[in-house]
Amino acid sequence: MSKLIKEESLTDKDESAEAHGKCMLNRRKFLMYSGGTAAAASTVSITLFAGTAQAETRKASVQGYPRKKIATLSQLKDHQPINFNYPDDGKNSQAMIVKMGDVQAGGGVGAKRDVVAFSYMCTHQGGPLQTTYKHVGDQRVMGQCPLHLSTYDLRRHGIIVSGQAYQSLPQVLLEVEGDDVYAVGIMGLLFGRQDNLSA
């Protein structure tokens, strides 16, 4: 009887295709078949996709930001923002430039790299940030937004530090030529626009 039990237990553990009466793949065969299928799928002609038969080559259109004088270094006083509009006078283009008083900032210009410019529109729901610039110790922030309390760190490219916003405050890129400060671009998307250059 013990011999019969041993034979049955060996048969129960037999995992061959014949024992199960069905098709089974070992690891090697699986990899071979799946690799062959992937190779066949990767050779499908691109023209099978809709619209590619009419594709044509076109030149890219590149739009440049205007270069606009917004202030002079000599007129900037520590912690006194100056308002301006950029890149145009259209919707949500209000911005400010400020000298942050010897605190170096990302994107800052001037001898101490402490002159920066930012949009006045909160990136969450467009709340107005005029008059919300604050300086305490070495902290330089814009906010809190009156709608949902978003606050931005102006030393670190306007990164969000609290509140409901999830994008940095758009930073106006600056260049200095002699004493003149020019706005030359925007890093980030202005609230309410699909494109910074279309009002």
Active site residue 157: no
Catalytic hit among 20, 135, 148, 157: 148
- Across the beta sheet with 151-153, the strand order is 133-136, 139-143, 151-153, 159-162
User: Which of 20, 79, 124, 135 is an active site residue?
Assistant: 124
120: left (phi over 0), alpha (psi -120 to 50) or beta: alpha
Q: How many angstroms separate the CA atoms of 168 and 177, rounded?
A: 27
Active site residue 20: no
- Return the HEC string of 6-74: HHHHHHHHCCCHHHHCCCCCCHHHHHHHHHHHHHHHHCCCHHHCCCHHHCCCCCCCCCCCCCEEEEEHH
- 121 neighbors 132 (Cβ within 8 angstroms): no
Q: Locate tokens 């006045």: which residue?
A: 120
Q: Which residues are catalytic?
A: 124, 148
